[in-house]
């Protein structure tokens, strides 16, 4: 290569990160094509109706629901970066609710089944989940306990060969459509953190009541349920993982959930950025493209800096996660920062669009409403700050 070529600045250079291989690129293309062809065209409609269950079946057929699960369970046998690719490409469907519904299934509810489940549980729950034949949800939050997971009240009491479950869960994504729930319960209220147990509960079990669909600020295409459990009897082999270890199991689960959430936040922010850049190059005011005003140009520079910083944090943390580390501090930083900048970027993108940004048809207001959830779900900003602060011994 000639020196002149080397020294020439290249603002268009590909943003491929070292964690991704050619195989990831091919996967990205294939998921991206599917998302743009089969999901994005329905974004408006699904905001009104919630997205159909057939999305899971279709994604199961295409192999997208088990990217990093072993082939013996119907998965693709890929690495963790494949899940990052999925989370990033799902942002192209223009509907945070669809991306969230799928992510709850692939990266929140099924990972504990894979890691802690017995072989029988994997055959009964993981295999059909990967195929898109069963839909899953995860039940941690309750009307009286969200951030304070240890404060949950849902009780599971042993009765012979069975457990009897009573309690309620709220804000449960996929709760109306799910075939099963990974349910966090208390089995021994006097045992502190050693008193929690996870269960796999079929949602058609007697005593499981799917109460009203909850109305939300954003994520309209997803279903969010208030659930009640009234004397639900499950066999003792419905315990997922170890009796009394449910708190630790779910704390492990939350790390993957947060990192995938962070990847989705960055991808959503990038989507808004790209769309707004296009607008700033087309829209004219006072005789010139609005993007050529220095104040607008600097807004893009600020946004690009935030997005790129968050992306690097997510990728580096994903690399550590893939290589067997459990970097809670870094995952919390990535989740906190990515969620915050996604809201800031969406807000700035509305501003750059002017009145059009406030209009539904443009879709930027939806990005703002959808991304707002990420500062709350899977651990609020305040909880992330506390985890990070405590990791320094404070
Ligand atoms: C659309 C949506 C989908 C969701 N999907 C699911 C799901 O599928 N499964 C599931 O289990 N949950 C789900 N959630 C619940 C979500 O994880 C909780 O809302 C979140 O963890 C916060 O809990 P909370 O709402 O009870 O708020 P609270 O815990 O009551 O917090 C209220 C406020 O107090 C602050 N606060 C609490 N404790 C502290 C502290 N120690 N220090 C400082 N500040 C504190 C919080 O940061 C927050 O600002 C969902 C929520 C929404 C909105």
**pLDDT single digits (tens) 312-321:** 999 999 999 9
Q: Which atom of ligand 1 is nearest to the CA of 219?
A: 1
Cα angle 64, 171, 389 (rounded to 5 degrees) comes to: 85
Q: Which atom of ligand 1 is nearest to the CA of 139?
A: 11
Q: Which atom of ligand 1 is nearest to the CA of 381?
A: 47
Give the residue ranges of DSSP H helices in 243-358: 246-282, 294-322, 328-353, 355-358
Candidate list 88, 89, 253, 257, residue with the active-site label: 257
Query: What is the C-alpha separation between 357 and 347, in angstroms, rounded?
Result: 9
Of the candidates 266, 251, 223, the residue with the CA atom closest to the CA atom of residue 374 = 266
For residue 394, the tally of other CB atoms under 10 A from its CB is 7
Determine which residue's CA is closest to atom 38 belonging to ligand 1. Answer: 147
Q: Which atom of ligand 1 is nearest to the CA of 147?
A: 29
Q: What is the pTM of this model?
A: 0.96
Report pLDDT for 7: 73
Pocket test for ligand 1, best of 141, 172, 184, 385 (most atoms within 8 A of CB): 141
Q: Which atom of ligand 1 is nearest to the CA of 382?
A: 47
Cα angle 124, 204, 126 (rounded to 5 degrees) comes to: 20
Q: Is 183 in the pocket of ligand 1 (CB under 6 A)?
A: no
Distance 373 CA to ligand 1 centre (A): 10
Distance, first Cα to last Cα, the chain: 53
Query: Are the CB atoms for 340 and 220 separated by under 8 Å?
Result: no
Cα angle 48, 169, 135 (rounded to 5 degrees) comes to: 55
Determine which residue's CA is closest to atom 37 belonging to ligand 1. Answer: 147
Q: Is 154 in the pocket of ligand 1 (CB under 6 A)?
A: no
Low-confidence ranges of the chain (pLDDT < 70): 1-6, 15
Q: Is 139 in the pocket of ligand 1 (CB under 6 A)?
A: yes
Of the candidates 43, 51, 172, the residue with the CA atom closest to the CA atom of residue 95 = 43
Task: Convert the pLDDT of each residue in 134-154 to its tens digit.
Answer: 999 999 999 999 999 999 999
Q: Is 100 in the pocket of ligand 1 (CB under 6 A)?
A: no
Q: Is 96 in the pocket of ligand 1 (CB under 6 A)?
A: no
Q: Is 378 in the pocket of ligand 1 (CB under 6 A)?
A: yes
Report pLDDT for 1: 55
How far are the Cα atoms of 49, 50, 59, 176 from residue 53, in angstroms, in the given order?
12, 9, 10, 11
Distance 62 CA to ligand 1 centre (A): 33
Query: Which tokens belong to 161?
Result: 């060969």
Pocket test for ligand 1, best of 146, 225, 246, 257 (most atoms within 8 A of CB): 146
Distance 266 CA to ligand 1 centre (A): 21
Pocket test for ligand 1, best of 105, 169, 377 (most atoms within 8 A of CB): 377
Of the candidates 5, 9, 79, 93, the residue with the CA atom closest to the CA atom of residue 47 = 93
Distance 375 CA to ligand 1 centre (A): 9
Q: Which atom of ligand 1 is nearest to the CA of 145?
A: 26
Reply yes or no on whether 23 is catalytic: no
Tell me the β-bridge partners of 284: 289
Report pLDDT for 332: 98
Query: What is the C-alpha separation between 19 and 27, in angstroms, rounded?
Result: 14
């Amino acid at each position: 290569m000639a020196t002149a070529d080397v020294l020439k600045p290249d603002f268009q250079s590909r943003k491929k990160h070292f964690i991704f291989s050619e195989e990831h690129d091919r996967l990205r293309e294939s998921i991206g094509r599917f998302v743009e062809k089969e999901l994005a065209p329905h974004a408006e409609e699904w905001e009104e109706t919630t997205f159909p269950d057939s999305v899971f079946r279709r994604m199961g057929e295409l192999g997208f629901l088990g990217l990093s699960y072993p082939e013996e369970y119907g998965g693709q046998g890929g690495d963790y970066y494949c899940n990052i690719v999925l989370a990033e490409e799902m942002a192209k469907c223009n509907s945070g609710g669809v991306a969230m519904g799928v992510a709850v299934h692939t990266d929140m509810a099924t990972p504990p089944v894979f890691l802690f489940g017995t072989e029988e549980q994997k055959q009964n729950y993981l295999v059909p989940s990967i195929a898109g034949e069963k839909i899953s949800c995860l039940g941690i939050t309750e009307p009286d306990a969200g951030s304070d997971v240890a404060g949950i009240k849902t009780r599971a009491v042993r009765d012979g060969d069975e457990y009897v479950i009573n309690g309620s869960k709220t804000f449960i994504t996929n709760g109306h459509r799910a075939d099963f729930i990974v349910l966090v319960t208390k089995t021994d209220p006097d045992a502190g953190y050693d008193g929690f147990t996870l269960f796999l509960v079929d949602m058609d079990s007697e005593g499981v009541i799917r109460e009203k669909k909850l109305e939300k600020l954003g994520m309209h295409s997803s279903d969010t349920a208030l659930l009640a459990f009234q004397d639900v009897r499950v066999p003792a082999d419905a315990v997922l993982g170890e009796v009394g270890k449910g708190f630790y199991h779910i704390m492990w689960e939350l790390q993957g959930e947060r990192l995938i959430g962070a990847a989705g936040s960055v991808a959503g922010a990038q989507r808004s950025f790209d769309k707004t850049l296009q607008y700033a190059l087309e829209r004219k005011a006072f005789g010139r493209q609005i993007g050529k005003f220095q104040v607008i140009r600097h807004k893009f520079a600020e946004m690009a800096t935030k997005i790129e910083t968050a992306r690097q944090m997510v990728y580096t943390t994903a690399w550590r996660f893939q290589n067997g580390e459990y970097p809670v501090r870094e995952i919390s930083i990535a989740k906190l920062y990515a969620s915050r900048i996604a809201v800031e970027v969406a807000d700035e993108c509305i501003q750059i669009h002017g009145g059009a940004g406030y209009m539904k048809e443009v879709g930027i207001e939806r990005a703002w409403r959808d991304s707002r959830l990420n500062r709350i779900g899977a651990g609020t900003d305040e909880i992330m700050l506390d985890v990070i602060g405590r990791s320094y011994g404070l």
